[in-house]
Chain A
């Protein structure tokens, strides 16, 4: 159980974010009621998940390809294994901090698990018909029936409610979403997440839905991505992707680089690709 103040809503460490949580000021009655319930296991089993849903076993041997972000990946891996009671991950982060890269990494893992994935990018403030178009395109091959239902909100939500196998929905660049899209996501789709036991949703952006006042807030794990400012994380990344590029100076260079770039993921990624990536190896730019 986690009790926190409203101001800390987005700062709960990700490894305990999946536990039952309460707002210090607003949820006092809920907290008391919860405490009174005898033999309450913690965390709660996923009561919304019927046994019929075939969550795949977590792939323990999967090599996570990104720098750091391991707690986020672990949380997602547990979600996809049906072992996490909350199925909505809200990822908030500043510009250039690797949200889209993280979502891409999560998407790849879901695919290796054989799960269908649909992704919506709100970049460019798409109209609702464009949002549905993205969903249709994403689901066309894996779930043609659901793709056909993604013509209107009611039929799509109904389709999601009827799913018996897991589906991952990813929403990126939430800050650019129109009011219509935001309302659809917050007040329609996620509102019914309790009735969509096979759906796992991830929403990323410089802003995330204001879930605190929403009925689905206890299904959500809000999380703020930090900069990746530990040189060791980047060293591990280089060793994973370009092991032959490492030199005795690499560790020291990464210390300076992460400090100078303030841990900004986009900048460091660009820098490393430039000096360690395949094009660098083929040229005179090798560090």
Chain B
């Protein structure tokens, strides 16, 4: 091939990026032995390669022969992190897409071989293996492997691993030819892992697509998970009626399974999940009796499972959540006598779990939350010093977690919650400066989160709460104008939320309360 022929080949690509990349590969490889092209195509399957990986893909002898000329190609670059090389992204993706379109069986075969090259236990190895398994199939097995990996890391609180997994899943979503089960799993997990980073409408699109795929499969678990994911997204979008439909569907699937196999513990646990979610919905509507009924049903299952196997940390954690839900609900109902038993039981479980694995960030967070709840109890009982101590422990844990991952919105939110709680304790003691400092720290976090995603109603309400805390503090300091200004911001936020979902009891009450404060101050 001469230069003019090469230009004609580029012109034939008509500016299409993939065609340009493929044409460039053709030009660079023209006149070279076909084995080099085969080696390049194989090397484009994984995200990186070394001699051993190349050997796994094309055989040891071929790998030895082609490694040097391959790594000298302009579209192959060093990958220092893995002490190997990678095909440059534009060429890698173009080659993969070309294979998917023209030789899908070869892509699957190479992906299967690639999967076998990554057998280590390190997160990067496990993620890369899964990436190839999702393409190579079989579909249902790959989806199950994905579910297991997510489950392991979620239960171990390996947040950073999950973020890395999401990066690869997003690539498979965009570019890989996936089976229905795998695609449903990928979409669902992207929603769950990137919950705080994906805009709500995108989360809804993914969750809806996952549900449609799952409904086309004879796979109750995939459907259950897809209903759950979509329900959570709809709830976050304040589409409570639609969310209720998803949660009922979850319960229906679980009950149908249990009708066939009453002792299936996995499905029992899933049934308890759906009870809890239905309970949450009812609590949000102000139906405390209905919520309690659901929570107690879930609690009975959680207790039964823990009795079966007290060493099962997942079931222990479920039981702790169940105690917390019931305790919170009783507190809302004003049933103070019943609250301590539940919060203390939850706290004991979380302390035990953290004792088992102090590196588990989820359990650490559970413990911080639990300290907060015990602090609330002590505050109600008038033990302000005890409450302050608990809140400060909670704040210290939350600070450690937030420092570990400043991007984790949940952990940032926890920080704001503890700042507000400490402020609430300090203000009545006359330490208004201390209270102000904590309220302002809480407000700064709430403002940051609220600006990240204006559709996130929880974060919007947090912002309103921060403002009314500051309003209260200003009022106590004899600054009614400052208090009014903060209350007005709160009212504006709560009015927007209440308009979004007029049936939301909490938001309706918040709006009414803020309005009352403004009227009172205006005289």
Question: What is the bound-complex CA distance between A127 and B406, given in angstroms?
Answer: 14
Can you name the residue of chain A whose Cβ is closest to the Cβ of B403? A153
Q: Is the CB of B79 within 8 A of A123?
A: yes
Q: Is the CB of B167 within 8 A of A275?
A: no
Q: Is the CB of B79 within 8 A of A267?
A: no
Give chain A residues whose Cβ lies under 8 Å from the Cβ of B24. Answer: 261, 266-267, 270-271
Q: Is the CB of B163 within 8 A of A262?
A: no
Question: What is the bound-complex CA distance between A262 and B168, given in angstroms?
Answer: 29
List residues of B (15-32) whose CB comes within 8 Å of A's CBs.
Answer: 15, 17, 20-21, 24, 27-28, 31
Mask for A53-89, Cβ within 8 A of B = 1, else 0?
0000000000000000000000000000000000000
Q: A262-B15, A287-B3 are in contact. Are A125 and B75 (CB under 8 A)?
A: no
Q: Is the CB of A176 within 8 A of B167?
A: yes
Give chain A residues whose Cβ lies under 8 Å from the Cβ of B79. Answer: 121, 123-124
Is residue A251 within 8 Å, beta carbon to beta carbon, of the partner chain? no
Q: A127-B160, A130-B81 are in contact. Are A260 and B407 (CB under 8 A)?
A: no
Give chain B residues whose Cβ lies under 8 Å from the Cβ of A178. Answer: 160, 163-164, 167
Q: Is the CB of A95 within 8 A of B89?
A: yes
Q: Is the CB of B81 within 8 A of A124?
A: yes
Is residue B103 within 8 Å, beta carbon to beta carbon, of the partner chain? no
With beta carbons under 8 angstroms apart, the residue of A127, A137, A261, A285 that contacts B123 is A127
With beta carbons under 8 angstroms apart, the residue of B10, B15, B80, B89 that contacts A257 is B10
Chain B nearest CB: distance from A259 CB in Å?
8
Is residue A239 within 8 Å, beta carbon to beta carbon, of the partner chain? no
Is residue B337 within 8 Å, beta carbon to beta carbon, of the partner chain? no
* Residue with the greatest number of chain B CB neighbours at <10 A, chosen from A96, A253, A257, A287: A96
With beta carbons under 8 angstroms apart, the residue of A137, A183, A264 that contacts B407 is A183
List residues of A (230-263) whose CB comes within 8 Å of B's CBs.
Answer: 249, 253, 256-257, 260-262
Give chain B residues whose Cβ lies under 8 Å from the Cβ of A100. Answer: 77
Give chain A residues whose Cβ lies under 8 Å from the Cβ of B20. Answer: 261-262, 264, 267
With beta carbons under 8 angstroms apart, the residue of B28, B82, B163 that contacts A180 is B163
Give chain B residues whose Cβ lies under 8 Å from the Cβ of A176. Answer: 167
Is residue A8 within 8 Å, beta carbon to beta carbon, of the partner chain? no
List residues of B (32-52) whose CB comes within 8 Å of A's CBs.
Answer: 47-48
Chain A nearest CB: distance from B252 CB in Å?
36
Chain A nearest CB: distance from B452 CB in Å?
10
Chain B nearest CB: distance from A210 CB in Å?
11
With beta carbons under 8 angstroms apart, the residue of A125, A137, A260 that contacts B10 is A260
Give chain B residues whose Cβ lies under 8 Å from the Cβ of A180. Answer: 160, 163, 405-407
Main secondary structure of the interface of B (DSSP, over half): helix
Can you name the residue of chain A whose Cβ is closest to the Cβ of B89? A95
Is residue B259 within 8 Å, beta carbon to beta carbon, of the partner chain? no
Give chain A residues whose Cβ lies under 8 Å from the Cβ of B13. Answer: 260
Give chain A residues whose Cβ lies under 8 Å from the Cβ of B11. Answer: 256, 260
Q: A183-B407, A188-B406 are in contact. Are A271 and B6 (CB under 8 A)?
A: yes
Is residue B274 within 8 Å, beta carbon to beta carbon, of the partner chain? no
Is residue A112 within 8 Å, beta carbon to beta carbon, of the partner chain? no
Q: Is the CB of A96 within 8 A of B27?
A: no
Question: What is the bound-complex CA distance between A121 and B15, given in angstroms?
Answer: 29
Is residue B429 within 8 Å, beta carbon to beta carbon, of the partner chain? no
Give chain A residues whose Cβ lies under 8 Å from the Cβ of B102. Answer: none
Can you name the residue of chain A whose Cβ is closest to the Cβ of B405? A180
With beta carbons under 8 angstroms apart, the residue of B7, B10, B21, B81 that contacts A96 is B21
Other 20 A-B pairs with CB < 8 A, given A127-B123, A127-B164, A257-B7: A123-B79, A124-B48, A124-B79, A124-B81, A125-B163, A179-B163, A179-B408, A180-B405, A180-B407, A183-B407, A249-B3, A260-B11, A260-B13, A261-B20, A261-B24, A266-B90, A267-B20, A270-B27, A274-B6, A283-B31
Chain A residues proximal to chain B, CB less than 8 Å: 95-96, 100, 121, 123-128, 130, 134, 137, 176, 178-180, 182-184, 187-188, 249, 253, 256-257, 260-262, 264, 266-267, 269-271, 273-275, 283-285, 287
- In the assembled complex, 23 residue pairs joining A and B whose CB atoms fall closer than 8 Å, in A order, are A100-B77, A124-B79, A127-B164, A134-B80, A134-B81, A178-B164, A253-B7, A256-B7, A257-B10, A260-B7, A260-B10, A260-B13, A264-B20, A266-B24, A267-B24, A270-B28, A270-B75, A271-B10, A271-B24, A271-B27, A274-B74, A275-B3, A284-B31
Chain B residues proximal to chain A, CB less than 8 Å: 1-4, 6-7, 10-11, 13, 15, 17, 20-21, 24, 27-28, 31, 47-48, 74-75, 77, 79-82, 86, 88-90, 123-124, 160-161, 163-164, 167-168, 197, 405-408
